Amino acid sequence: MTLTHDFDIRYERRHTDSQMYSLYPEDVLPMHLAETDFTTAQPVIDALARRVEQGMFGYAAESGGFGEAVRHWLDSRFRLSIESEWVEYSPSVGSSLFFAIQAFSQPGDRVLIQTPVYHAFHSLIDNSGRIKAENKLKLRGGRYEIDFEDLERQLANPRTKLMLLCNPHNPVGRCWTMEELARIAELCLRHDVFVVSDEVHGDLAYRSFTHTPLPAVSEEIAQRCMVTVNPSKTFNLAGMRASAAILPNKRRREAFRIALINHKAVDRPVFGTVALEAAYLHGGYYVDQLVPYIEDNARLVGQYLREHVPGLELIEPEATYLLWLDARGLGLPAEQLAPYFMREAKVAFRDGASCGNGEGFLRMSIGFPREVLERALRQIGQAASKL
């Protein structure tokens, strides 16, 4: 029997331990965070319930089931063949990026990112004593593209040792093509730059697009990269603190492991491990139903903005439930955009400036039941009409 999930069900999350709902007054809808308002897949809930029944929650052993679950997911969803022993546990994708910076670069080295990008990329570099280098993405015809000439200039700098790739890209919504990834790989190999590919949104590529894991490009780049994944965004499991890093190269894997040990980050959480394994072994049906729902939400936002808020333009997404909105046409100073909508629409956005190269833009989560999203759009429209 095929399982189904009802993404239209609403749950009252205020006055719980939800970080997302605790940051703003009760009348503000938080649409700033990369988290959904959907319950997780039933097999995950069932697996956690069975684990609770054991009644003992001591230190968890490092079983082979963790790596095998990741191996199964990457093979079944993306046709990427890996070995389970290539997989290392990490508390989160952000943690994986931090440990990779520690393992594969030294203080004073340049770490390259493509902006605008998820705001934590910036702080992880800044707080590690590394130098942040930017390859600014170019918005052309309503779609972001890579400036490959500048990318090569940045990579050719002898102090550039590491590149943090966001694939698919948060927040601009690009699902990088095989051709684009091949060019990135070729340049990084030419200039001896190691790549860490954040693929946490890879499950959420829209139906007309294909997520390509970076190691699928070639064996050469597979040996010179690390991929980090997590069911947190897809299955709403961020609080479980269980993520995976895939490193085909043994020497690089050992270096990453040392960084984990040095920061006492090797102990696996009991429930996080159970949740990840259940999601990756039994959650395919959930993703197959989630992606069309998210796509329909994105389509609804685009249509509403075109009809009712012409000064707020959706950059058409190819993946993720995070939308990138061009608000420059509204006539407000960039620094006033997010505060204005929180005050007048009671909707919290993430200010695009926090992503770098994103002044005048807003990031919006649409991982909500349709009824909630429709209400938010009406409030956004009413607020914009006052301008």
Containing 246, the helix (H) or strand (E) segment is strand 243-246
Q: Which of 292, 266, 320 is nearest to 5 (CA)?
A: 292
Q: Which CATH number fits domain 19-42+285-385: 3.40.630.40, 3.90.1150.10, 3.40.640.10, 1.10.3430.10?
A: 3.90.1150.10
The confidence band for 1, taking pLDDT boundaries of 50, 70 and 90, is: low
Q: What is the Cα–Cα distance from 356 to 338, expressed in whole angstroms? A: 15
Query: Average pLDDT, stretch 31-53?
Result: 97
Q: What is the Cα–Cα distance from 297 to 366, expressed in whole angstroms? A: 7
pLDDT confidence of residue 162: 98
Containing 150, the helix (H) or strand (E) segment is helix 148-156
Go through the chain and tell me how many residues it has: 387
Amino acid symbol at 65: G
Task: Assess whether the region 19-42+285-385 and the region 54-282 belong to the same CATH fold.
Answer: no
pLDDT confidence of residue 13: 86
**What six digits make up the tokens of 158?**
């002898």
Question: 375 pLDDT exceeds 80?
Answer: yes
Residue 84, classified by CB atoms within 10 Å of its CB into exposed (0-12), middle (13-18) or buried (19+), is middle
pLDDT confidence of residue 16: 87
Q: Where are the domains of the chain?
A: 19-42+285-385, 54-282
The confidence band for 12, taking pLDDT boundaries of 50, 70 and 90, is: confident
Q: Which CATH number fits domain 54-282: 3.30.420.10, 3.40.640.10, 3.40.50.720, 3.40.30.10?
A: 3.40.640.10
* Residue in the block written with tokens 């039994």: 282
Query: Average pLDDT, stretch 178-186?
Result: 98
Cα Dmax for the chain: 59
Query: Average pLDDT, stretch 199-217?
Result: 98
Q: What is the Cα–Cα distance from 307 to 290, expressed in whole angstroms? A: 26
Q: Which of 35, 91, 142, 93 is nearest to 269 (CA)?
A: 91
Give pLDDT tens digits for 269-293: 999 999 999 999 999 999 999 999 9
* Residue in the block written with tokens 């046409």: 329
* Residue in the block written with tokens 């029944």: 53
| Percent of the chain surpassing pLDDT 90 | 96
Query: Residue 268 has what DSSP assignment?
Result: P
Give pLDDT tens digits for 55-90: 999 999 888 899 999 999 999 999 999 999 999 999
Query: Average pLDDT, stretch 296-315?
Result: 97
Q: Which of 209, 207, 232, 213 is nearest to 34 (CA)?
A: 232
Mean pLDDT, the chain, integer:
97
**What six digits make up the tokens of 195?**
């790549």
